[in-house]
Amino acid sequence: MKKKIKYILIDNVKTIFYALLIAIAIRSLFIQPFYIPSSSMEPTLLIGDRIFVSKYSYGYSKHSFPFSPSIYNKRIFKKEPKIGDLVVFKTPIDNRTDYIKRLIGKEGDSIQFINGEIFLNNKQIFREKISQKYNIRCGSTTFEVNAYKEMLPNGVKYISVYRKDGTLMNTDVYNVPKDHYFFLGDNRDCSRDSRFLDSVGYIKNLNLVGKAQFIFFSNDTVKSSILKIWNLNRSLRVDRFFKKLW
């Protein structure tokens, strides 16, 4: 009887071990879920969105694996991201924290804000003001915005928002170094991104984690926690389930 119990325990441990290995392999090599905790990418991504990120899109680095083990400091099967991609990356200040932003500039590119307009390599990024109203969050506050449909030189379109009561108008020129990238949040006045050279700045290719593909679940965690099942009807955003991200 004792031997039988022992064999059952060993089999269960083996099953759990193999299941963990498979889960780690899937998470590291194929796809990983992420939770959106901030409003920096509104209206594209909302607080409470759960997204799937493909790990194979740009190849693999140490940041593809749990805890970012320092076993190899290069990227293998490297693929270049495209301007406009929604990218998850590790912030350079600690190489641990995950951020998601939109890729605006690659190595050799220059980016500058002039009178509130974005210039990429001295050419103004096309944008058209839209009439749709958005309630945009920034921390615990909500503010009015001007919303624009922007289009990058490669044809990628998205919506960006700017505060009505004051926004970033002018900056110095950002020159993207070799093997680095420049990222912006779509919520331009509530995003810590590559404009903040002291905390985020230019992002190394090595720090890219993956490309956001789609939202698989969404609920407004500001209104109600997912653990409060009885309040889910107040917070579920069913229209965002399985929404593809561009």
209 membership: H or E segment, kind and range: strand 208-218
Rounded Cα–Cα distance for residues 98 and 129 (Å): 31
* pTM for the whole structure: 0.89
| pLDDT at residue 169, as a whole number | 84
Rounded Cα–Cα distance for residues 41 and 85 (Å): 13
40 is catalytic: yes
| pLDDT at residue 20, as a whole number | 77
Answer yes or no: are the C-beta atoms of 55 and 219 closer than 8 Å.
no
- 68, two tokens: 């970012």
CB neighbour list of residue 113: distance below 8 Å, 6 or more residues apart: 119, 168, 169, 170, 171
Q: Of 223, 238, 211, whose CA–CA distance to 54 is shortest?
A: 211
| pLDDT at residue 226, as a whole number | 55
Rounded Cα–Cα distance for residues 240 and 10 (Å): 43
| pLDDT at residue 233, as a whole number | 67
Domains, the chain: 2-244 (2.10.109.10)
- 125, two tokens: 């990024």
CB neighbour list of residue 98: distance below 8 Å, 6 or more residues apart: 34, 88, 89, 90, 91, 209
| pLDDT at residue 94, as a whole number | 93
- One digit per residue, pLDDT tens: the chain, 246 residues? 666 676 777 777 777 877 777 777 777 778 999 999 999 999 999 999 999 999 999 999 999 988 888 888 899 999 999 999 999 999 999 999 999 999 999 999 999 999 989 999 999 999 999 999 888 999 888 988 999 999 999 999 999 999 988 788 899 999 999 999 999 999 999 999 999 999 999 999 999 999 999 999 999 887 655 555 556 667 899 999 999 997
225 is catalytic: no
Q: Among 101, 160, 204, 218, which one carries the catalytic annotation?
A: 101
Answer yes or no: are the C-beta atoms of 87 and 208 closer than 8 Å.
yes
H helices of 57-148, where? Answer: none
| pLDDT at residue 178, as a whole number | 97
Answer yes or no: are the C-beta atoms of 58 and 80 closer than 8 Å.
yes
Q: Among 38, 40, 160, 224, which one carries the catalytic annotation?
A: 40
| pLDDT at residue 15, as a whole number | 79
Q: Of 104, 78, 97, whose CA–CA distance to 38 is shortest?
A: 97
